[in-house]
Each structure stands twice: as structure tokens, then as C-alpha cells.
Amino acid sequence: MEFLEIKSKKKEIMAHLKEERTLVLIKPDGIQRSLVGEILGRYERAGLKLVGVKMLVPTVDHIEKHYTLDPNWRRVTGEKTIAGYQKRGLTPPSMDPLEITARILDGLKRYLSAGPVIAMVWQGAHAVQIIRKLTGSTEPLSSDVGTIRGDYVLDSYQMADIDRRAVRNLIHASGSVEEAQMEIPHWFDEKELIKYNIVQEKIFYDVNLDGILD
């Protein structure tokens, strides 16, 4: 491969990584607990760029569509949940993954339509993975200390299942780049997402740190 070709390929890959976007929702419990500033601050200080933000009360229909954008979500979530029960030595309420997901979806619809949520799009290198890491794993009981869910929530699947509600874990964050690409247009029009530069991007992405010295 010619040198110039390699250089342009590298530029293309780097541009793609730097422009990775992910969808984050601060769920009603995050707003009720006045954690909006804390949550935004954690993503900001990692170096990610906020490119879109709005507050809204979503309809149950909008929430159902959000969770079922991926046609496999019902089956995969049901199977994962059944496996989770079995791992804990518990009998699942049903062995039918779709029946399990129907209960979960019902709880999620009530939870997310209970009050305002904040929808955001964050951009930067590995945005999806960085946000998932800072947010912590889905069940707060087992989220690592230092993650948002690990530091601010004490909920568990056990508690949620007893009360027949969704686990209150403050945040939704896209699980993969493909998921983000489906979720972002579900919550935002392209014109609501702003293309702009922030000065710290120079420090993250400029190869030679040009322009620091006078």
C-alpha cells in the first residue's frame, strides 16, 4: 500500500472513532434525586462532548419502541433474565423468554413515563464503551464502586421483582454502536444535534499538540 493511501485510511478510521455517538437517558429517578449535574459532570470530565440534550416526558409508546428497536431485544433480554434467575438458584416466574420480557417492558414503560427524563447524545472516541464503563452494570447491586450506578443506587433485580417494577438504575446508555445508531434518531432529529468543536479535543486528538507553544 502506498504511504499516502495508508495515511488517508488512518485518517478515515480516526475520524470515525472521534465521531462515535451514544444515547444517554437520565431516567425519572435521576432527576428526582437531583443527580443531573453529577451525571453530566462524570461524562464531561472523561472528555466526551455533549452534542444534543432535551428534557421530556416520554409516552409509553415511545418507550416501547425504544426498547424494541432491535427485533431480538425481547428474546435476548428474556433469555438473559431466565439465566440470571437460575444463576442465583431461583426459579424464574416463567420459562418463556417473551413472557419474561413482557413483564420487564411493562415495568420499564411505567418507570420511564413517570416523570421527565433527560435525553442526551454524547460524542467522542469510544463514546459507547466509555459511557457504559462510567455508568456501571445494569443491576446497581453488582455495579462496581466508582461507577454512577455503583455509587448512587442500592436497587436490585430481587427488590424490583418483588415489587413488580423495573430496576431503578438512573440511566439508560446505548449498549453498542449499532444500538446507538438506532436509538439516536428515535429521540433526536438530526438538526437537534450540533456540530461544534471544544478546545480540549485538541489535547485528545491532535497528534503533535501543535499550537501549545507561542
Question: Which CB, 18 or 33, lies closer to ligand GDP?
Answer: 33
| Residue 118 near residue 29, CB atoms below 8 Å | no
> In angstroms, what is the minimal distance from the CB of 170 to ligand GDP?
10
Site for Mg ion in 161-180 (CB under 5 A): 175
Using alpha carbons only, what angle is made at residue 174 by residues 71 and 65, rounded to the nearest 5 degrees?
40
16 tagged catalytic: no
Question: Which CB, 48 or 112, lies closer to ligand GDP?
Answer: 112
Report the alpha-carbon distance of residue 70 to residue 175 in Å, rounded.
Answer: 11
Among 24, 104, 130, 170, binds ligand GDP (CB under 6 A): 104
From 1, 36, 23, 5, select the one nearest 177 (Cα to Cα): 23
Question: Which CB, 49 or 149, lies closer to ligand GDP?
Answer: 149
SS3 64: helix
| Residue 27 near residue 168, CB atoms below 8 Å | yes
> In angstroms, what is the minimal distance from the CB of 42 to ligand GDP?
16
Name the helix (H) or strand (E) containing 21.
Answer: strand 21-26
| Residue 22 near residue 124, CB atoms below 8 Å | no
Among 35, 74, 81, 140, binds ligand GDP (CB under 6 A): 81
Site for ligand GDP in 132-191 (CB under 6 A): 138, 157, 160-161, 166-167, 169, 172, 175
Enumerate the active-site residues: 172
Binding site for ligand GDP (CB under 6 A): 77, 80-81, 84, 104, 108, 138, 157, 160-161, 166-167, 169, 172, 175
